[in-house]
Amino acid sequence: MTWYAVLLGLVVLERLAELVLSKRHAAWALARGGVEFGRGHYPPMVALHSALLVACLAEAWLLDREFLPWLGWPMLAVVVLAQALRWWCIATLGRQWNTRVIVVPGLALVRRGPYRWLRHPNYVAVVAEGIALPLVHTSWLTAVAFTALNAWLLTVRIRTEDAALDTVAQARG
């Protein structure tokens, strides 16, 4: 159980690093006339992702979930791959990446890296991690609950992003 707490602690540190980078990138975007869309869904998104990390550990500890190697090791591999995809997305978008939906007028839509194949590759990473991270230590209730709530949230988020990107495309004519 200790190693699982360490893993979750590392994910927390990674998320904090993301937030620092996101804040810096959001300031850059806003200073260049960026417009934020969908502010209302952002606090629930932060709360849900924070709750995931707490619930993973709480379920494993309170319900005495055991580590099942046949499940835990493959799920750990999925978590690592999800992190790699997330950081590939961040690196590809550069300063245009942040955790909010901010569109800077005049900037081209990114179509390289994982965006060559998917419109929202970061959300593939989010979904994969949301399922796999709890299952590393058999926290299946957390995996199911997060996945259901995240599906609703991603529906809102993706509609918001698509509408924001369509607004930019229409402005270009």
Tell me how far apart the alpha carbons of residues 112 and 158 are, in angstroms, rounded to a whole number: 19
Q: Could you list the residue range(s) of the whole structural domain that residue 110 is in? A: 2-172
Hey, what are 10's tokens? 């590392």
User: What percentage of residues in the chain have a pLDDT greater than 70?
Assistant: 97
**Residue located via tokens 């950081």:** 87
CATH number for the domain including 80?
1.20.120.1630
Burial 119-154 (b: 16+ CB within 10 A, else e): ebbbbbbbbbbbbbbbbbbbbeebbebbeebbeebb
Contacts of 33 (CB under 8 A, 6+ apart): 104, 105, 106
* pLDDT tens readout for residues 67-91: 999 999 999 999 999 999 999 999 9
Residues making up the chain, counted from first to last:
173
* pLDDT tens readout for residues 43-58: 999 999 999 999 999 9
Neighbours of 30 (CB within 10 A): 15
Number of domains in the chain: 1
**pLDDT tops 70 at residue 169:** no
Hey, what are 93's tokens? 């978008």
